[in-house]
Structure 1
Amino acid sequence: MLSPDLTNAVWRKSSRSSGGSANCVELATDGTTWAAIRDSKDPSGPALIFPRSSLNSLLLQVKTGGLDPQ
């Protein structure tokens, strides 16, 4: 997968993020091809980019603790 140009991406902050929270993530997607996640404290930093078709699976793993260290 080629890396998409995120220059004009529309980023959405997690609904779980609150005003002073230090644990905020943002999500951008083109709706069909790719999704990207970044740390909202470092908007010019790196983003994790993956196929859009994997987004629901990733979010389910995060919500259920499937990615938490054992």
Structure 2
Amino acid sequence: MKSIDVSGIQWVKSSYSGGNEGECLEVADHIPGIVPVRDSKNPRGPVLLFPTAAWTAFITGVQDSPA
């Protein structure tokens, strides 16, 4: 997978992350074919790039799992 410049993208934190002292992930939308993910506590740290289909499967699996 090619590298991308993530310096100017808009990061989004889950609405479920309130009260976690920043212990959550942030994702970036609207980048064709990939979903960048980073640790909200370390915004200058590494960014993981997931194919959109893999990220969608992950989210579906989390939503379908018992609480």
State if a TM-score over 0.5 links the two structures.
yes
Shorter-chain TM-score range = 0.7 to 0.9
Q: Which protein is richer in helix relative to its size?
A: 2
Aligned twin of 2:30: 30
What is the rounded CA distance, in whole Å, between the counterparts of 1:56 and 1:33 in structure 2?
11
Q: 1:5-44 counterparts in 2 under 5 A?
A: 5-18=5-18, 20-22=19-21, 23-44=23-44
RMSD (Å), alpha carbons? 1.7
TM, length-normalised to structure 1: 0.74
Pairing 1:49–2:49 present: yes
Shift of 1:27: 0.5
Matched residues, number: 64
Give how far 1:60 is off.
1.5
Task: Supply the distance in 2 between the matched residues of 1:16 and 1:48 (Cα, whole angstroms).
Answer: 21
Deviation at 1:55, TM superposition (A): 2.1
TM-score by length of 2: 0.77
User: Which stretches in structure 2 are left out of the alignment for 5+ residues?
Assistant: none
- AA aligned to 2:20 is S
Over the matched positions of the two proteins, sequence identity in percent amounts to 36
